[in-house]
A and B are shown apart, each in its own frame.
Chain A
Amino acid sequence: MSADPAITLADVTFAYRPDTPTVLESVDLEIPQGAVTVIVGASGGGKSTLLSMLNGLIPTFISGEFTGSIQAGETDLTVTRTNKVADTIGMVLQDYEAQLFGTSVTAEVAFGPENLGVEPAEIDARIDQAMALADLTQLDRRRPPSSLSGGQKQRLVIAGVAAMEPSVMILDEPTSDLDPAGTEDLLAVLRRVRTADAADGWSGPETVVMVTHAVEEAIGADHIIMLADGGVAASGSPEEVLRDAAALRAARVGVPPLVTVFDALGVGKQDLPLTPSAAAALVDRMDVDYDPAVLPAGAPAGTGAETGEALFDISELRYTYETDRDPVVAVDDVDLVIDRGAFVALIGHNGSGKSTLSKLLHGLLDPTTGEVTLDGEPLRSYSASERGRRIGYVFQNPDHQLFAESVREEVAFGPSNFGYSGAELDARVTAALETVDLMPLAEDDPFKLSRGQRQRVALAGILATDPNCIIFDEPTTGLDATQHDQFMQLVGRLNRDDGLTVIMITHDMGTVARYAPRSVVMDAGRVVFDGRTRALFGDPDLLAGYQLRAPQVTQLAHAVAPHTTPALTEEELIEALGGPR
C-alpha cells in the first residue's frame, strides 16, 4: 500500500432529495491505493450510494443534497464529470441487465474503449485481455448478450469495464449471480492487484473497491469498510473488522462462520481464524478432536422429510430452443422424482439449465420431449389455474411481479385469480401476511418497502394460494445477512412444520448445506449428481469436478478429519469439536 489514498472522502453528507432521509452523514474515508477494499453493511445502509461517489456519479450526475469533498489524486470528483474520469475509474453497477449496450459480446466489450477513442487496432488486444480476465474466453463472441445466462452477463459487464483499463475498479455486488467457482475466479482476478507496471502495459486494476453481502468474500480483502447508520462503523484489515462478532451483528453484516465457531469454543478474539487453513492450524494447537458421531444424517435445519410419496415424477425430459444459428439444448434427458415434503437444492454453474428445468416443472415452459407428472397425472392434464394452485413459483426479482397499490391487494392477486373471494380470501391473505411477518405493513405501497420486504410480499402472494410446493429461483439475491437468514428460516419452517415441498435454485452453498438434505447438480442441461447433500459436500473431489465449493465449516472438517462425515453448519462444527465452552 502506498501512502497516498486512491480516493478520499471528507465530511460527506448526502440525501437524494431535501425531503428524504440522509443516506450518509459526515463520512470521512480513504480508499487505499494498490489494495482491494470491500465495503460491507446492511441493505439500505448506503453502500451503493457511497460507491456512486467514488467515480463522482454523485454529485455530478445525481446532484441530490450533497456537501463535502471527494478527491481522486489531483481530480476533484465533485466537479469533474464521470465520463471524463472513466478511463481511470471504472464502475460496474449492481443491475447488470441494464448495463449491456452491445448487440454482440464483441461489441459490448468494445463499447467502453470506443467511447474513450481507443484505436480499433488496439481494441482487439483489449477485448482478448478483458475476456480472459472475466473468464469468458470460451464464449462465442458473436452471441447477443441478451442470450447469455445471468452469471455470464454479469461477467461480460466486468469485461466491458476492464477493457477500458482503469487503474481503479469499483464493483457493486459483482458476484450476486455467479456460481461458487465463478465467484472464486473473479475474486482471484480482483485480488491479483498490480502495482503500476507501466512497462508491461495494463494487466488489471491497481485498486479495487467492491460491495458484497457475502462475508466470506470480504475475508481475502486487504481493507474492509463497514457502514452502519449512515456512517463508517469500522474500517481496517479483515482481522481487525471481521473478528468483532458483536459489531458485525449490530451492523447487520454476517459473521464469518469460523469466527462464530471458535468464539463459541472459547478462543480469544485475537486468535479467531478467518480461513479454513488458519482454523485447521488452530485445531491442531487446541488439542481437540473432531467427532463425526454426533452429527445427524439429515439436514442440520431438520428440513426435508422423506415421505416416499412422489409429488413430481419426470422422465426423459428435454427442452430445446431455437436460435438463428443452431438449436440449444437447455435441458437434456433428465429423470427426477421429488417427494412430497422434500427440500431439494438445484445447483450447478451459470447456464447449466436450472431455471429452465424449474420452469418445466411448473409448466411455464412445455418440454420438447418427455413428460412431467404431478401427483401421478401428466402436468398437461391440469389447467393453468390448477397448476398454479398446487405449485408456487417465487422468481429471483420480486419487482417483476409487484403491481398493486397495497401489500394486501398484491398478496390477494394470486388467490383471487384462483377463485377465492370474500371472507375466505381475506383469511388467506391475513394468514399469509402473518406468516411472513408483514401484517403491520398490509396497507403500505409495496414499492416503498425494502428489497427483503418486497421478496417476502412476493412469497406471501404465493403462500396465500396454499400450494403443495414452491419453486424458488435464487430468492435471496440482494438480501443482506439478516434478511437472508430471516427469509430462509421462514422457508425452513414452512417445509418442516407445514410439509411444504421446496425446490430451490441457489448459488449459496451455506443455504444448501443447512436446509437441503438432497442436492441435484446440473451441468450442461443434464443431472450429473442427485443424492445426499452430506455425501456431496463430504467428497472434495466430487465438488471440485462440479465446480462447487463447500462452506468454510465443511472445508475445515475436511482439513482436520478427511474422509469422515463433514459438519455442514457452524452449530454442527461446534458440536463435533466438543461443544461450546
Chain B
Amino acid sequence: MSQAYAPFVDRDTIVHQMDPRAKLVGISALFVVAYVFSNPVLIAIPALIALGLVLSVGGYRNLRRVRVIIIALFLVGFVVWPVFLEPGGAVLLTAGPVVLTEREVFIALGRSLRIVTFILGGLVFISTTTTEELVRGLRQLGVPYPICFAIGTALRLFPTFIGAAGTVQQAQAARGAEVGGGSIRERLRGFIPLLIPVFMTAFRNIQTQSMALEARGFDPMGGRSFYGDLRFQRRDWALTLASVGVMITAALAALGGFGRI
C-alpha cells in the first residue's frame, strides 16, 4: 500500500537541511576531485565520502536500487579501459593475448571509481532534496521556471507510475497472470496485461493532472511565490566556500602534475 517509491528519503539529517544550491556546489566539489586526478587512491577519497553520505542520510534503499548498475559500470570499466590505454609498469596478469600491466589496472580502477563517485553524489542529492526544493533551487540559480517545472513534474510522476504499476500488478496477479518465464516472445506477451493498464492509467492521469494544474492557477510563465524556508544560512556559505576552495586546490594541484599516473 504505502511503501516509499520516491527517491527522497524522509529524514532530518544535516544534509537534508542544507540549501539545495549549497548541496549542489558541495557535490560538484566531489565530482571535480574525482575528475581532475587519475590516481585511484585520490579518487577513492570523494568516492568514499559520497558513499558515507549516502548511507548516513538513509539512502541505502536508493543505493540498493542502482547497485546492479554501479557494479556493472565498475566491472565494464575495468574490462574496457585497458584496451585504450598504453601499457606500463609491471605486468600483473597474462592470459593468452591479454596482458594487464600495473598502469592499466590503476587507471581503469580510477576511471571506474570516478563514475561510481558521480552516481553516489547524485544519490546523495536526490535522497536529501524534495522536488519542491530542487525546483526552487534551480529557479534561484536562474533556470527558467517552465524548465524547472518540467523537471519537477517528471520527478513527481515517477512515484505515481510506480504506484499504479504496483496496483495493476496485484490486480493481474489475482487473475493468475505470471510475468517472466518462457521464451522472449512469451515474456513480452506476459507484460501486455501489465503495460496496457499502466499506460492507460498514466495517460488518464496526465489528462486529469493538466486540468487540475490549470484549475489550481498554475501558469508556467506567470509569477509565483515559494513557500518554505529556503535561505542561505551560515553553514550553507561555509560548505560553498569550502567546496570552492577544494575545487580550486584540486584543479591547481592536477595542473601541477599531482595525482597523475
Contacts and interface: CB of A to CB of B under 8 A. Distances in A.
A binds B: yes
B238 interface: no
A417 B175 contact: yes
Interface stretch (A30-38, A105-113, A181-189): A105-113
Contacts of B76: none
B10 A144 contact: yes
Contacts of B193: 401, 403, 413
B197 A362 contact: no
Nearest to A324: B10
A274 interface: no
Interface in B15-63: 58
A362 B174 contact: yes
A114 B224 contact: yes
Return the 3 tightest CB-CB contacts between A and B, nearest first: A86-B217, A417-B176, A403-B196
Contact of A52 (B205, B209, B211): B211
Interface stretch (A90-98, A217-225, A256-264): A90-98
B197 A402 contact: yes
Contact of A144 (B6, B195, B217): B6
A82 B218 CA distance: 9
A41 interface: no
Interface stretch (A70-78, A372-380, A387-395): A387-395
A414 B175 contact: yes
Interface string B163-183: 110011011111111100000
Contact of B218 (A55, A83, A146, A414): A83
Given A93-B208, A160-B216, 19 more contacts: A57-B214, A83-B215, A95-B208, A98-B204, A98-B206, A103-B132, A106-B228, A107-B228, A115-B218, A146-B2, A146-B160, A322-B3, A392-B174, A397-B167, A400-B197, A402-B197, A402-B200, A413-B193, A418-B176
Interface in B201-255: 201, 204-206, 208-219, 222-228
Given A93-B211, A392-B174, A399-B200, A114 B226 contact: yes
Contacts of A119: 225
B10 A142 contact: yes
30 contacts: A52-B211, A57-B215, A81-B214, A84-B217, A95-B204, A101-B213, A103-B8, A104-B130, A107-B130, A107-B228, A114-B224, A114-B225, A114-B226, A116-B224, A116-B225, A120-B227, A144-B8, A146-B6, A321-B3, A322-B3, A324-B4, A324-B9, A324-B58, A325-B11, A384-B173, A384-B176, A392-B174, A399-B200, A417-B177, A447-B200
B175 A107 contact: no
Interface of B: 1-6, 8-11, 58, 130-132, 156, 159-160, 163-164, 167-168, 170-178, 192-193, 195-197, 200-201, 204-206, 208-219, 222-228
B178 to A, nearest CB: 7
Contacts of A414: 175-176
B187 to A, nearest CB: 15
A359 interface: yes
Contacts of A107: 130, 132, 227-228
B46 to A, nearest CB: 26
The secondary structure that dominates the B interface is helix
A98 B218 contact: no
B217 A325 contact: no
A325 B213 CA distance: 30
Contacts of A238: none
Interface of A: 52, 55, 57, 61-62, 81-84, 86-87, 90-91, 93-95, 97-99, 101-104, 106-107, 110-120, 123-124, 142-144, 146-148, 160-161, 164, 321-325, 328, 330, 355-356, 359, 362, 364, 384-385, 388-389, 392-393, 395, 397, 399-403, 413-414, 417-418, 447, 461-462, 465
Given A115-B217, A146-B160, A400-B201, A413 B177 contact: yes
B215 A385 contact: no
Contacts of B159: 144, 146
Given A97-B205, A120-B228, A161 B176 contact: no
A328 B2 contact: yes
B176 A57 contact: no
| Among B2, B168, B222, residue most surrounded by chain A Cβ atoms (within 10 Å) | B2
Nearest to A126: B227
Contact of B167 (A57, A116, A160, A395): A395
A95 B160 contact: no
A83 B227 contact: no
Contact of A101 (B156, B176, B197, B222): B156
Contacts of B170: 359, 364, 395
A147 B171 CA distance: 19
Nearest to B227: A110
A107 B173 CA distance: 35
Contacts of A98: 160, 204-206, 208-209, 212
Nearest to B167: A400
B219 A82 contact: no
A355 B213 CA distance: 30
| Among B130, B163, B175, B201, residue most surrounded by chain A Cβ atoms (within 10 Å) | B175
Contacts of A83: 213-219, 222
Contacts of B2: 146-148, 321, 323, 328, 330
A104 B160 CA distance: 14
A98 to B, nearest CB: 4
| Among B5, B10, B205, B226, residue most surrounded by chain A Cβ atoms (within 10 Å) | B10
B164 A400 contact: yes
Contacts of A114: 224-227
B176 to A, nearest CB: 3
Given A82-B214, A399-B204, A364 B192 contact: no
A61 B214 contact: yes
A111 B11 CA distance: 22
